[in-house]
Chain A
Amino acid sequence: MKPILNRLIGLAVGTAAGLLVTAASAADISGAGATFPYPIYAKWAEAYKAKTGIGLNYQSIGSGGGIAQIKAKTVDFGASDKPLSPGELDAAGLTQFPTVIGGVVPVVNIAGVQPGQIVLSGGVLADIFMGKVKNWNDGEIKALNPSVNLPNQAIAVVHRSDGSGTSFIFTDYLSKKSPGWASNVGAATAVEWPTGVGAKGNEGVAGNVKQTSGSIGYVEYAYAKQNKLTYVRMINKAGKAVEPTADAFQAAAANADWAHAPGFYVVLTDQANPAAWPIAGATFILVYKQPADASRTKEVLTFFKWAYASGGSLAESLDYVPLPASTVQAVDKSWHTNISAAAVP
């Protein structure tokens, strides 16, 4: 049943890719997957093509589609917002590495409350999204915000309705902070939300929050920043209240224990660094360890090597957070240990 579907998708994507390849050049890199990093991959591709003449055809069909495509070998690389577990990687002969960091920011709409004025902890956030804390003047919220005048108003919860890497990072964080969330809801790109309304995409969540007084939602960092939404400060693992900034996201990645994570299976939530924003995650690229055509994978890795070295400012211009230098080194090392030598630049 599944193979037929895969083959159909593969056929469609393959045909599309084929057409694009003939239209452009035979040496172009092809990839498919997550929608979240699509804008930066497109921007990198443009700059890379101008420099080297090699183009990148990236189809942002979603993480699930990206994983299916690389397994079907119709593309040179797959892209996923949710890292595959080491077991899944081994079963498919794949390896993965992070490219850019994504942060998730809770946003609220409460009359009179300014951006950054409210502080929440992971446990309270989980209780709100579980429907346990129902009112803005609840004792749990007041205890964290003694100086803020919180209204007696029902909390309207807004979550993503579409499967999304943003939801994965967010629910992973809530699972780490709340045993109740971990056992009743769990972490995934889509979960069974205990309460609230679902909205499609970052823009849907932001729109719903903007329109609904007393609401809380969560959006991608770039989205919150560009639209100047009323964000919430979070208390991180070290007990510090932090602002969602590019530096705070990088801090989350910098201290992550990549070395002891086979296949980079690390979700950057709830990191110990005192400067780290607690709800962060990376988006990943999937390639074969022993590619059938080593030169194709080599092109892919060369592209990302260039992106790590020279794409940082482009990423920042789109409000993506580039990987810190230490993580880039870990990625480079993992290529040499995991991928067959002929495919590593």
Chain B
Amino acid sequence: MVDFALSENIVAPTRAAALRRFGRSDARFRVFTLAAALLVVAIFIGIMIALIQGSWLALSTFGLGFLTSSVWNPVTEKFGALPAIYGTVVTSALAMLVAVPVGIGIAIFLTELCPRPLKRPIGTAIELLAGIPSIIYGIWGFFIFAPYFQQHIQPGIIDALANIPVLQDLFEGPPYGIGMFTASLILSIMILPFISAVTRDVFETVPPMLKEAAYGIGSTTWEVMWRIVLPFARSGVVGGAMLALGRALGETMAVTFVIGNAHHINESLFAPATTISASIANEFTEALGDLYVSSLIALGLILFGITFIVLAAAQLMLRGMERRSGGKSL
């Protein structure tokens, strides 16, 4: 009894102190997280301001013509972004065209069809693929893939399609090995792991009940994937694809190696082209003259804009999909 009274006397003030202490630490924690969040906003605004300031000279000199001109002449200081925008959009779109079906295919195989002993090695290989620095892809593409492609595959494709309308224009020209097609292919390999890793993770969150019920009423594997798993996981799949697209749009080193770096718009996919980030990486160090530097920064601003538009479109698309399905999604 005596003991109890004693301890209560001691404990009461201790508890109050502890509560105060916890309160203080919580407040500190709140301030810290708030600061971290605000830091992101500040960095974002800072980058925007720096980009707009840096590109102001180019934008005020060329106006909207900067977006539509395909001249890129450092000697006469006439700059237009169209070839770089075209190269960026086309290579990224082609890369997505290849990587999305393959990536989702890998995820389906891993979650539904893969024999258990293979699951872990293949999954690890895909995650490792995501960790390879982009310059390695560039070097591999330039020294291994491009020469092989040039000597053994490209001439065949060019000859085979030589008399087919449209296709002959898309695949014509001297076989350089490098060019838009090669860049797109390397990009698709680079972004594949993002799509398949994210997609696999969301597929694994699909409740087994749903799938088993579908199998129970006689669905085929295809029907289960197409009608149950994909609709359930679609926001995650779109998210993974957008992450991949973001990487494809901004990828610099690997693309610089294999795209051929020519400021021309050519309808042939085998022709050399350039992208926004490749142009900046190539030309920034030795860019002499304010207008040249400013034009390169303006290219950066445009890339920022493209990425923003893509992300916003993805958000809108997701929202639309959720509304149609009554908001039952992840």
Contact = CB atoms under 8 A, between A and B. Distances in A.
Contacts of B262: 193, 196-198
Interface in A143-164: 154, 156, 161-164
Nearest to B290: A2
A297 to B, nearest CB: 23
A188 B75 contact: yes
A68 to B, nearest CB: 9
A163 B283 contact: yes
A198 B282 contact: yes
Nearest to A210: B147
Contact of A199 (B71, B147, B261, B290): B261
Most interface-central of B56, B57, B263 (chain A CB within 10 A):
B263
B284 to A, nearest CB: 8
B93 to A, nearest CB: 22
Given A1-B294, A199-B261, A189 B177 contact: no
A188 B282 contact: no
Contact of B286 (A154, A162, A186): A162
A220 B262 CA distance: 21
Contact of A63 (B53, B146, B256, B286): B286
A61 B284 CA distance: 10
A187 interface: yes
B177 A5 contact: no
Interface in A55-113: 61-65, 67, 81-82
Nearest to B287: A64
A64 B282 contact: no
Contact of B261 (A35, A67, A81, A198): A198
B285 A61 contact: yes
Contact of A64 (B50, B150, B274, B288): B288
A52 B290 CA distance: 39
A191 B278 CA distance: 16
B73 A5 contact: no
Given A190-B74, A196-B262, A198-B262, A4 B53 contact: yes
The size class of the interface chain A forms with chain B is: 35 or more
Interface string A299-325: 000000000000000000000000000
B104 to A, nearest CB: 34
Contacts of A154: 174
B286 A200 contact: no
Interface string B270-304: 00101000100111111110100110010000000
A165 interface: yes
A200 B282 contact: yes
B97 to A, nearest CB: 24
A163 B56 contact: no
B282 A161 contact: yes
A1 B71 CA distance: 24
A76 B62 CA distance: 36
A51 to B, nearest CB: 32
A162 B281 CA distance: 8
Given A197-B260, A200-B256, A185 B57 contact: no
Nearest to A36: B286
Interface in B59-74: 71-74
A163 B53 contact: no
A207 interface: yes
Nearest to B176: A197
A211 interface: yes
Contact of A188 (B50, B263, B288): B288
Contact of B73 (A62, A82, A191): A191
A65 B262 CA distance: 24
A189 B74 contact: yes
A62 B150 CA distance: 33
B143 A64 contact: no
Contact of B75 (A8, A65, A186): A186
B293 A64 contact: yes
A67 B286 CA distance: 10
B142 interface: yes
Q: Which of A65, A81, A162, A204 is most buried by chain B, counting CB atoms within 10 A of its CB?
A: A162
B150 A200 contact: no
B53 A65 contact: no
Contacts of A30: none
Nearest to A34: B286
A163 B257 contact: no
A337 B260 CA distance: 47
A197 B285 contact: no
A215 to B, nearest CB: 9
Interface string A192-214: 11001111100010011001100
Closest 9 CB pairs of A and B: A163-B286, A62-B285, A198-B261, A161-B261, A186-B75, A197-B260, A192-B73, A197-B272, A1-B53
10 contacts: A1-B53, A1-B55, A1-B57, A5-B53, A63-B286, A161-B283, A197-B261, A199-B261, A204-B257, A212-B176
Given A64-B287, A197-B260, 12 more contacts: A62-B286, A64-B288, A81-B286, A163-B282, A163-B284, A189-B287, A189-B288, A198-B260, A204-B142, A208-B178, A211-B143, A211-B177
Interface of A: 1-2, 4-5, 8, 35, 61-65, 67, 81-82, 154, 156, 161-165, 185-193, 196-200, 204, 207-208, 211-212
